[in-house]
């Protein structure tokens, strides 16, 4: 089998703009395979946060791409994982699994050559659905010898014989046009569900909180586990300035000290980086105030998760 087969141009006729196509596409996979990076690059705009740390995404996030007669509604999902120790983990798994229901296409993102037990868990969910499945074999840019991909692709094909398999690099935009062409082929004829200029279903308050959380993850790295949440307490426009107050919730005093850092240096860096990204999002000047508070056990409390907006989304 030649590697060329995986790079062939998928020929599609020019869209008839009188026939509209629209549908939901769930992006699923185990943690840290590049689902959120893929969505951001498909949209050519950042709507969901990313980091190298697994389980960064917690909520199902819609990303909407409208081009001429075609509207693709992507659902970025939390990584499906084996850990069920806390309510937060269970909620993330339920959220991802719920996104598979009633979608038109599933994109199952896997790593370039590695298949894990958590991929098997995702496979079990995907195999139960009747809609078309596209397996996106990601991180192609990290492979010097593309022929080395063939055994992995053959193995995937044996697990999902009816699926289309497309090697990609989400980060480097490699082969994403072919991926989109396949998606379009599977979408039903439908009127568009969202306006042409809408790119997500999330509010700017949600996105601001997520930006702050992203900067915490990137600044702190492995020093603080995922038991961190961000809650926007104030979001107010005054003249040409938007004032935002965000509360960072930690589970332990030690976590709080790490986030604040020596003489507040970490918290200042988090705030500075977050403010710059939020200003780009809002296209206005932002005054961002951050506080850190300890709330023990919030990640294992269903009621607390719901108050923070962490629950399965119903699309």
pLDDT at 68: 94
Give the HSE-up count for residue 83: Cα atoms under 13 Å, Cβ half-sphere: 14
User: pTM value?
Assistant: 0.83
pLDDT at 144: 83
Task: Dump pLDDT digits (tens) for 91-139.
Answer: 666 777 777 888 999 999 999 988 999 999 999 999 999 999 999 999 9
Question: DSSP letters along 20-86, please?
Answer: -EEEEEEEE-STTSSHHHHHHHHHTS--S---SSTT---S-EEEEEEETTEEEEEEE-PPP-S--SS
Task: Dump pLDDT digits (tens) for 43-63.
Answer: 999 999 887 766 677 678 899
pLDDT at 54: 66
Domain 16-186 listed as CATH 3.40.50.300: yes
What is the arithmetic mean of pLDDT over 5-29?
65
Q: Where in the chain is the domain with CATH 3.30.300.20?
A: 204-307
Short-list 84, 81, 202, 186, CA closest to 129:
186
Cα distance between residue 146 and residue 234, in whole Å? 50
Short-list 203, 199, 162, 164, CA closest to 183:
164
**Confidence class for position 32, pLDDT limits 50, 70, 90:** confident
104 secondary structure, DSSP code: S
Domain 204-307 listed as CATH 3.30.300.20: yes
Rg (C-alpha) for the chain, rounded Å, is 20
Q: Where in the chain is the domain with CATH 3.40.50.300?
A: 16-186
Task: Dump pLDDT digits (tens) for 242-285.
Answer: 999 999 999 889 999 999 999 999 999 999 999 999 999 999 99
């Amino acid at each position: 089998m030649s590697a060329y087969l995986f790079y062939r141009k998928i020929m599609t006729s020019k869209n008839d703009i009188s026939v509209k196509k629209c549908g939901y596409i769930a992006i699923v996979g185990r943690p840290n395979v590049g689902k959120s990076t893929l969505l951001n690059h498909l949209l050519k705009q950042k709507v969901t946060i990313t980091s190298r740390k697994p389980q960064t995404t917690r909520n199902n996030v819609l990303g909407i791409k409208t081009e001429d007669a075609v509207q693709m509604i992507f659902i970025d999902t939390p990584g499906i994982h084996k850990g069920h120790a806390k309510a937060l983990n269970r909620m993330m798994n339920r959220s991802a699994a719920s996104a598979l229901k009633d979608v038109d296409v599933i994109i199952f993102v896997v790593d370039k050559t590695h298949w894990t037990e958590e991929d098997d868990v995702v496979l079990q969910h995907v195999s139960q659905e009747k809609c078309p499945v596209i397996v996106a074999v990601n991180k192609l840019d990290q492979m010097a010898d593309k022929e080395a991909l063939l055994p992995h692709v053959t193995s995937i094909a044996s697990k999902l014989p009816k699926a289309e398999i497309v090697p990609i690099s989400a980060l480097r935009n490699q082969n994403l046009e072919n991926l989109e062409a396949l998606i379009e082929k599977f979408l039903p004829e439908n009127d568009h569900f969202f306006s042409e200029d809408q790119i997500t279903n999330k509010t700017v308050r949600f996105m601001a909180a997520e930006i702050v959380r992203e900067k915490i993850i990137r600044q702190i790295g492995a020093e603080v586990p995922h038991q961190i949440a961000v809650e926007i307490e104030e979001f107010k426009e005054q003249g040409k300035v938007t004032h935002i107050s965000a509360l960072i919730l930690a589970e332990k005093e030690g976590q709080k000290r790490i986030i604040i850092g020596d003489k507040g240096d970490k918290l200042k860096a988090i705030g500075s980086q977050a403010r710059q990204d939020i200003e780009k999002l809002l296209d206005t000047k932002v005054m961002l105030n951050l506080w850190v508070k300890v709330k023990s056990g919030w990640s294992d409390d269903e009621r607390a998760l719901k108050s923070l907006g962490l629950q399965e989304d119903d699309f």
